[in-house]
Amino acid sequence: MENGKISPLTARNTRLFREAFDNWDLFRSILEKKIEALGVDKKVQREQQQVQDMDGGEGHNQEEFGHYEQPFYEHSLRDDVPTKIRYFLSTIPNRKFADYDDVVAGRIASIYRYNENGQKERIYLDIKNNSMGYATYMPYNKVYNTLLRLCHSARNIQEMDDMLAKLGKSDYSMYRIGKAFHRFRTLMYRRWTKDDF
């Protein structure tokens, strides 16, 4: 509150939350899609649906059941990703670095700006915004597959760090991942050694 009045931002957020509450069924389906994009496994639901499909009809013969058989053991590299890393890869904003086409179109004045430390940095633009005006997240599967495709040849941590730094010069998602990876690597190095990194 400012001077006894509700700020415009608070009023806007209150209106948006009230709208979501009033339209909960629609909002719930949107949330379910977002949760599914985070990589939450729905294998149990799929198996329950298959059991219902097998039990529900009449006149099934043994050959039709072959369609519903599951292998004894299914494994994917995606299943081995720890939850914290999966969450991080699921929360990469859907953004891109601004280019000269954006300058020509009049969206921005320059593709660079100076940060608070006086360093030159690239400007990024949101590709898609949600109803609250924030950037949407890239799908986990897309980020995971892109990361695997671009960095599969790294033989050690140093090569991976270098690859992400190089890719991050032109791709915002790789920039975010590379920055976090470098910070994690630096902190781990400092934790186990007395030397500066």
Model confidence pLDDT, tens digit, residues 182-193? 888 888 776 666
Q: Determine the straight-line distance between the first and last CA of the chain, rounded to whole angstroms.
A: 46
Model confidence pLDDT, tens digit, residues 74-98? 656 777 788 888 888 888 999 999 9
Sequence letter at residue 83? T
Choose among 111, 85, 92, 87: nearest CA to 173: 92
- Residue 162, pLDDT > 90, answer yes
Q: How many CA atoms lie less than 13 Å away from 160 in the CB half-sphere?
A: 16
pTM score: 0.55
